[in-house]
Amino acid sequence: MSPFPSSAPRTQHWHHLRLTVEDGVATVTLARPEKLNALTFGAYADLRDLLAELARERSVRALVLGGEGRGFCSGGDVDEIIGATLAMDTAQLLDFNRMTGQVVRALRECPFPVIAAVHGVAAGAGAVLALAADFRIADPSARFAFLFTKVGLSGGDMGAAYLLPRVVGLGHATRLLMLGDPVRAPEAERIGLISEMTDEGRADVRAAELARRLADGPALAYAQTKALLTAELDMPLAAAVELDAATQALLMNGDDYAEFHAAFTEKRPPKWRGR
């Protein structure tokens, strides 16, 4: 994402989610606990635009995405989205579905790591939001369900058919996307859908600890690692190795690479600058 701002001012208040930023760590909370944080049109749009703003500002070095109350996110609101889409024409439906995909692209393309802190339900679009994060920290209450076929739609929604096989393999992805059955935390950990399991009620705390570690580390190295992981998913080996070489050559001219050598020589911890 380009760091160059337009004339539009920074958004001072997000109506459909809660944002806090502290010392380089952003925490984004889906805050409709009475609806299990079901997503609305406005929530999708806020997530899309917030991620773009944070990417441009370059002040955030890690982001935690979580949900308030009993669960992470139960997916699209049945009344406010599914009910409303029944009255839309094809052009409007295409605009909506493109917007949901833009949220996933923003999560994958933003230049900082995203950590999903998952407890309780992560269903439908909520499961895909967690899937699109770089890390999924979950407690034993977590359960994932890709419910799209259960409402008569393709399981390949919001990039799920692209991302999920690359995380858990084609066999597991086929089962999860076709059948839409819930995957509880032990199985999710076994098949690689969860990055780390915590004790009950500790997913938010552990996600914050990981975000702090990432924010204190070499931000540019992390950003380029994330970019390469996404870009090289569809590349042949020769192209991937060449992209790796070009990326390393650029980073070897950076301040952080020189700082590592200086810190090693002086027997002190590096002072990472993200440059």
- For the chain, domains (ranges, CATH) are 17-216 (3.90.226.10), 219-266 (no CATH)
Q: Write out pLDDT tens, residues 215-255.
A: 999 999 999 999 999 999 999 999 999 999 999 999 999 99
Q: Write out pLDDT tens, residues 8-38.
A: 778 888 999 999 999 999 999 999 999 999 9
Neighbours of 159 (CB within 10 A): 18
The pLDDT score that the predictor gives to residue 1 is 59
**Percent of the chain at pLDDT exceeding 70:** 98
The pLDDT score that the predictor gives to residue 9 is 79
The answer to whether 133 and 115 have CB atoms below 8 angstroms apart is: yes
From residue 105, alpha-carbon distances to 32, 111, 159, 204 in Å are 23, 12, 9, 24
- Whether the predicted pLDDT of 97 surpasses 70: yes
From 89, 1, 72, select the one nearest 38 (Cα to Cα): 72
The answer to whether 224 and 245 have CB atoms below 8 angstroms apart is: no
The pLDDT score that the predictor gives to residue 2 is 65
58 pLDDT band, cuts 50/70/90, is confident
- Rounded mean pLDDT, 67-89: 94
* Mean pLDDT computed over every residue of the chain: 95
- Rounded mean pLDDT, 29-54: 96
The answer to whether 138 and 197 have CB atoms below 8 angstroms apart is: yes
The pLDDT score that the predictor gives to residue 8 is 75
Quote the CA–CA distance of 127 and 122 in Å, as a whole number: 5
| Number of residues written out for the chain | 275
The pLDDT score that the predictor gives to residue 154 is 96
Q: Write out pLDDT tens, residues 135-188.
A: 999 999 999 999 999 999 999 999 999 999 999 999 999 999 999 999 999 999
Quote the CA–CA distance of 5 and 115 in Å, as a whole number: 25
